[in-house]
Amino acid sequence: MARSEKRKSRRRQLRASHQKNWLIGRYAVTEALRAARWPFEELYLADSLTPSETAEAERLADEADIRARRDTTDRLTELCSADHHQGFAARMAPFPYETPRQLRERLQESSSTAAACVPVVVVCDRIQDTFNFGAILRSCDATNVAGILIGPEQQAGVTPQVARSSAGAVHHLPIAMAENIVDCVIEMKTSGFKVVAASEKAEESLWACDLSGPTVLVMGSEARGVSTDLLAVCDVQVNIPMQGSVHSLNASVAAGILLYEIRRQQQSRPLYD
């Protein structure tokens, strides 16, 4: 690689790293304020915006005791290294993940009430692409998933980019991080969940598998699939029937298909047998 190309590559990496903490855009920032879940470190609004354009954000910030600073559009662009911020930019603190214990308590609470849906938990095993992870979370919200479980390594965490890709779903989903995903999955399995791994190499079709009860859906890495340790504790592996020339799907597309098939089957049976 030529020296000039290396410098360009380095600048792109620095820009991407700098952007990680900045949530930008009117909808994204306002939704984060409205949800009042993810702590803000700094909030900037462009001084070129009209009072009507900033009224809701300023009201929500005031209610949360967050100082809304006013500055020029160019200054916001400099801060977040992006020019499509629409006059709204927020530097976010680390995302507040739930603990495995909190997720377990949430599942116990939902199972003891007349819940609208049979519980489904999605385990993301080393999903590294932020767009994929965000899109998976968007499908999780659309299908009323009870919780999402991720690990601390080789896994995309919740960043502003993931928040944008999820269309704000990160603010409304129980997302837990566990040091040992396998132990958590075993515990859910012991409590009555069926653990299902998605794999294009599986022999059993999604359409032939009984997914009508409480389900843990395991989605594996885009490149390597579900880890061996996780596969060992799964009850079944399923594939999505492919009817064209391409033999695999993007992880987020596959997750959406699997989640809606799970919900279809669950809604065709009584909530309690």
Write the DSSP string, 145-176.
Answer: -SEEEE-SSSS----HHHHHHTTTGGGTS-EE
Q: Are residues 209 and 247 in the same domain?
A: yes
Q: Are residues 40 and 151 in the same domain?
A: no
Q: Are residues 64 and 194 in the same domain?
A: no
CA distances from 54 to 12, 40, 75, 91, 190 (A): 31, 17, 17, 17, 50
Structure tokens at 271: 């909530």
Report if residue 36 sits inside a domain: yes
pLDDT for the residue numbered 48: 95
Neighbour count for residue 100 (Cβ, 10 Å)? 20
Q: Are residues 151 and 208 in the same domain?
A: yes
Specify the pTM: 0.85
Task: Give 5's pLDDT tier (boundaries 50, 70, 90).
Answer: low
pLDDT for the residue numbered 271: 45
Q: How many domains does the chain have?
A: 2
Task: Give 20's pLDDT tier (boundaries 50, 70, 90).
Answer: low
Task: Give 34's pLDDT tier (boundaries 50, 70, 90).
Answer: very high
Whether 117 has a pLDDT exceeding 90, the answer reads no
Structure tokens at 123: 């385990």
Distance CA 113, CA 81 (A): 47
Q: Are residues 160 and 203 in the same domain?
A: yes
CATH number at 111 reads 3.40.1280.10
pLDDT for the residue numbered 210: 92
Domain end point (choices 57, 73, 92): 92
pLDDT for the residue numbered 262: 95
Q: Which residues 6+ apart lie within 8 Å of 267 measured at CB?
A: none
Structure tokens at 135: 């899109």
pLDDT for the residue numbered 249: 83
Q: Are residues 48 and 149 in the same domain?
A: no
Domain that holds residue 148: 100-267
Distance CA 151, CA 187 (A): 16
Neighbour count for residue 10 (Cβ, 10 Å)? 10
pLDDT for the residue numbered 116: 59
Q: Which residues 6+ apart lie within 8 Å of 98 measured at CB?
A: 106, 147, 174, 175, 176, 177
Average pLDDT over residues 142-170: 93
Whether 13 has a pLDDT exceeding 60, the answer reads no
- SS3 state of residue 188: helix
Average pLDDT over residues 46-66: 96
